Amino acid sequence: MFGIDTPGKIIAVHLNYPSRIAQRGRTPEFPSYFFKPASSLAPTGGTVERPAGTELLAFEGEIALVIGEEARWASPEDGWGHVAYVTAANDLGLYDLRAADKGSNVRNKGGDGFTPIGPVTIPTEGIGEGDWRVRTWVNGELVQEGTSDTLKFPFGQLVADLSQHMTLEPGDVILTGTPAGSSVVLPGDVVEVEVDAPKVPGAPTTGRLVTTVTQGESDFGDFGTTPTLSEAQQVEAWGSEQDLAAAIEAGHATRLTAPAAESTPGPLTAEIRELLSGVAVATVSAALRKRGYTEIFIDGVYPNHEGDAILGTAKTLRFIPFRPDLFKEHAGGFNAQKRAFDTVNPGEILVVEARGVPSTGTVGDVLALRAQVRGAAGVVTDGGVRDFAAVQQFDIPVFSQGAHPSVLGRRHVPWETDVTIACGGAAVQPGDIIMGDRDGVIVIPPFLLAEVAAEAAAQEAEDGWVADRVAEGHAVDGLFPMNAEWRARYEAETGRA
């Protein structure tokens, strides 16, 4: 494409377009650069992998200069004359790895396929350095547009500056910066970049450089830097706080900080928590049965610590049956399972629909620890738990069908979060009240919570009084349930009507 098989150098500029400079909020006095390896080159019509465990792969449509005549100590006025061709490029980068190498960008911008370039080159003869335009589309929508006559550092200045420090050789490539509009792309997205000279006769164009994002399956090893997230990096990657908020709402980004508390409390108030303190799940289930709610049991699940009890608001995660094509598309990287554990909020209980299959590991030590760190009130899954002994060491209550060592992909595909699910034979909606103890776990519709809690607390007190009488040696006949005589005594001794 450039007259040589592989460029000797690929040099990229950090900031150059005024729109991008304004977006970043800092104005460089002089251009700054980083290198990209030749192994990062990729052709048009190719794919790029978003590595497993990452979520912030961002595109940057750019005008690429191809050196035609060796340049050493060129002047800004002569710099453009050393450029033989112009083409389109996509300077892809992973913000998850940005902190690892600061401005050098070795890890976050040096990955295989992270520099798509082409599809054809345009000879610069007869075309000025200010005559070029770059545009980027994502899934057919125009998201970036910039022209070279607006640049903070014109092409000739870039060539001159670099040639002060190194010899620019024929075939070397300079990526000249990206305009505002860069953002995160997801597996399945298609990015297209085109460079043209629309005001030049014939309007020469590179055509569209097409790259499809795919999901990688290989995790980074612990012998080097692994992906990390910060809210600042998320905002930069997505482009704005508003775009990040929309991505979080859509489930495409991790919420790193819990949302602000609501000005009005939810149904599970401090008063109701106090009422239910010490109340058995069996007692609450009896109150629900009186109201016609009999299919509210999450059957077959038991706590990982003897004596655990849970009470909180449901956040849901749904698995579907395994299918290879769906697993390949949905199970890698920041999948629904990871999103659920990464976004559960304080006081919530993560309820997992694993289709009642015990021979699956739907929760492991890392995910259970993540839920605990985020302040979750517990985890309930009608599947199995991996790393069971390690999970038992954590404080967070985990109710499951027991231990199983299988990894994700044996029976399930993580599918979606925050939807109505079926867990252990019970329907569970986000916001339902989940209550559990050694007897089991039940689901309480929020609108019934207050009256059920009041009735169950009263019943628990009555049952406790009855138990004391049985312990004294009284027969249960007439006492459980209480006849009129026992009822009168109970009310007299306790003051309860």
Contact 132, 63 (CB under 8 A): yes
**CA angle at 192 for the pair 88 and 231, rounded to the nearest 5°:** 100
Determine whether the annotation assigns residue 449 to a binding site. Answer: no
Element of type H or E holding 173 = strand 173-175
**Torsion over CA: 16, 18, 20, 21 (sign):** positive
Contacts of 313 (CB under 8 A, 6+ apart): 266, 268, 347, 348, 349, 377, 431, 432, 433, 434
Determine whether the annotation assigns residue 439 to a binding site. Answer: no
Residues facing residue 385 across a β-bridge: 363, 403
CB contact burial 265-282 (16+ within 10 A = b; e otherwise): eebbeeebeebbeebbbe
Determine whether the annotation assigns residue 489 to a binding site. Answer: no
Instruction: Give which of 62, 63, 67 is closest to 79, Cα–Cα.
Output: 67
Contacts of 298 (CB under 8 A, 6+ apart): 351, 380, 382, 399, 423, 424, 425, 426, 428, 436, 440, 441, 442, 443
Contact 148, 129 (CB under 8 A): yes
Phi, psi of 492 (to 5 degrees): -70, -40
Determine whether the annotation assigns residue 326 to a binding site. Answer: no
Kind of pairing between the strands at 412-417 and 426-428: unpaired
Contact 40, 114 (CB under 8 A): yes
DSSP SS3 for 219: coil
Determine whether the annotation assigns residue 477 to a binding site. Answer: no
Residues facing residue 41 across a β-bridge: 115
Percentage helix, strand, coil for the chain under 3-state DSSP, each rounded to 5: 30, 25, 45
The residue type at 180: A
Phi, psi of 62 (to 5 degrees): -145, 155
Q: Give the C-alpha separation, 48 to 216, whole Å.
A: 9
Contact 338, 367 (CB under 8 A): yes
DSSP SS3 for 470: helix
Determine whether the annotation assigns residue 367 to a binding site. Answer: yes
CA-based end-to-end distance of the chain: 90
Annotated binding site: which residue ranges? 364-367, 386-387
Annotated binding site for substrate: which residue ranges? 364-367, 386
Annotated binding site for Mg(2+): which residue ranges? 387
